[in-house]
Structure 1
Amino acid sequence: MELLGLHHVSILTGKAEKNYEFYTKILGMRLVKKTVNQDNTESYHLFYADAEGTPGTEVTFFDIPHLGQTHRGTSDISTVSLRVKNSDSLLFWKERFNQFGVQHDEIQKRANRDTLAFKDFEGTRLILVADNGEKGVRAGTPWKKVDIPLEHAIIGLGPVTLIVAIAEPTIGVLTEVMGFRFVGSYPSLEGDHPDLLIYATGEGGSGAEVHIETRPDLPKVRLGRGGVHHVAFRVPNEEEYDQWAKRLKEHRLPNSGKVERYYFKALYFREPNGILFELSTDTPGFATDEPKETMGEKLALPPFLEPKRNEIEEKLRPLILK
C-alpha cells in the first residue's frame, strides 16, 4: 500500500472570473470541472488540470467572494509547484509573465531543479519546476492553447512546500503513517534559515514530493484568498482507500471518515501542525458525468446533488467564464 504522489491542491479565491482568466488564458490550464463546493453548495468549485483531467495535475479553487487576504505564516502550504518539460520552458514563461505583468522572480535552483517562482493576482505563491528528463511520477498531457507551444505547457503538479514551526511531528506522520521517505535537502532562498527537507512517495520525482520548511520565527497563518486550503495525495483504487481508512484509525488520527466526492473518494485529516491533508482515489475521474471533450463547459453536479439542481442554481451567483 503506497501513495502514488500528489493528487490535487485546493486554493481559496475571491474572484472566480478573474481566477478562470489567469489559470486558463495566462497559464493555459484546462477547466475540467465546474461544480459546487459540496460542503457549501452556494459556492463554486473550479478544477483546472491537464487535457485529460489526470490525477496529479489538478489545481482546484473554492470561490468565496469578499474573502479577506491570506496572512502568511506557519502551519501553511506556502507554495504550489507546476511542472514544465525543461529549462527552456522557464525562459518562455519568464517572457510570458513579463508580457502579462505577472509578478515573478528570476530562474533559480531549488532541490537541484531549475525553477521560476511567481504569484497569481491574489498572491498565491506558485513555482514552475523543470522536469529535464527526471525519472519519477509521469507527467500529464498538455492542453492545447494557441499562444502556448505544447512543449512549454504545464504538465502537472510539482512539489508542495509546507511551512511549520516544528518539523518533527509533521515528518512523523509523513514517514510513519503515510510511507514517505527522506530523499534530501536544499538551502533556503529566503535568508539564513534551516535547509528545506524533501520527502517523497511512490516513484518519486517532483510529482511526488513534499518539502518542509521550518520557520519558528513566523506567526501562524491566517488563511484567506490566495491561500492553499489543503493538499491531496493519490490513492490508486477503492481497495487501498479502504485500507487507508483503517490505517488512520489504527494510528488514532482524527479524520473525516470516508467521504464520497463522486469524482473521487476522499479522507481528510490534519497533521500535527494543523495542515489539512486529503487522501483521494484516482478513480473514477472527471469524465464520469461528462464527455471528455466537453468537460468543464457546464455546471456539473454529482448524482446526490442533482435532485436539488434548481435550488442550487437559484442560490449561486451568476458566473460567466469566457
Structure 2
Amino acid sequence: MDDGTWSIGELARRAGVTVKTVRFYSDRGLLPEAARSSGGHRRYGPEALDRLRLIRSLRSLDLPVPDVGRVLGEEAALEDAALEDAVAARLREVGSRLAALRWQEAALQSLRDCAPGERAERLRLVGAMTAPPSTTALARFWRRELPARLPAGLRASIVDAAVPQPPVDPTPAQVLVFARLHALVSDARTPVDHWRSPTGRTMCGRTDDEVRPAVLFEGLGEAFELASAELRARRRPYAGDALDCFVAAHARTYHARDTPVFRQRLRVLLTVTADPVLDRYWELSGELSGPLEPTLGAAQEWLRAALNAEPAPAPAPVAA
C-alpha cells in the first residue's frame, strides 16, 4: 500500500522480531494499528515501530507484560511514575535473586571444601534453610524465651538486637554458622523460664509476681552498651561503671539495694539460670558479628565475669 503503513510482516522485519511477537503485543493492545486493509489485515505506521522498540527495551529488563502495559499507558513513558515504580520493583526482584545466588554459591563451596565424612551433616544443615535464610525462626525463638510481661515495644527492640541479619555476600563459614543457628532454634524444647520458681519465691524473698523483668531489661540496655564499649577496647572484665549499672538493674528488679550480699546472691542466680542453649546461640552469633560488634550475649558474659572477679563478702562474725 502507498499510504505509508506497513503490514505485520514488514513491521516485524523492520523491528527485527517475529510476526508472532508483533501479533502477541497487538492482541494485548500494546501496539497501535494505523488501519486495516480491504482484506481486514492489520496495518501499522512508524509510531508502531517506535512503540515496539520501546516494548523490547522494557522486556529486555524482564519487566512483566502487565507492567509494560502500565508504563505504555502513561504519557511521557520514560519519565513517568509508572516506569519508575516498575524499575524499582524489578531492581528489588533482581537483588533478591542475586542474594539467593550468593548464598547458594557459598553453601555449595562449604559442601565442596569439607571433609567427605562431614558432607552429609552439612547438607542436612544447609538444606533446612532458605537462601538467603529467613530470620523468622530466630525471632520466634526470642519471643518465646523472653518474659511474657515485657511491654511490646521493649520486646521488639530486644528481638531486633538479638537476631543477627544474614550477610549480603556470605562466606562459606557464615552460611554454615547461620545454618547451625537455624537448627539450634528450630529444635523443639521447653523454654527455660527464669522468672518462675517452683516455690513461688525468688531471690531476696520476693514472689514471682513482685519481680519486674521490664525494669531489668530496660536497665540492662545501658549496662550492655557500657560493656560493649569495653569489649571493643579489648579490656578484661573489671568492676566499674558497666558492672555497677548491671547490678543496679537487677537490684531494682527485686526491690533490693546493691550491697555485697546482694552481689553474692546475684552471682549464684546467674550461675543457676545459665542456659547452654542460649550460650551456644550467642557463641554462633558472635562468629557472625565479629569482635568489633559485640552481641548482647558477649556483653552479658563480660559483666558476669566482672561480677565473679569481685571478692565474695566476708562472713558475718559469729556471736560469742
Q: TM-score, normalised by structure 1?
A: 0.20
- Structure index of larger Rg: 2
| Structure with a larger share of its residues in helix | 2
**More relative contact order, 1 or 2 (CA 8 Å, 6+ apart):** 1
Structure (1 or 2) with the greater strand fraction: 1
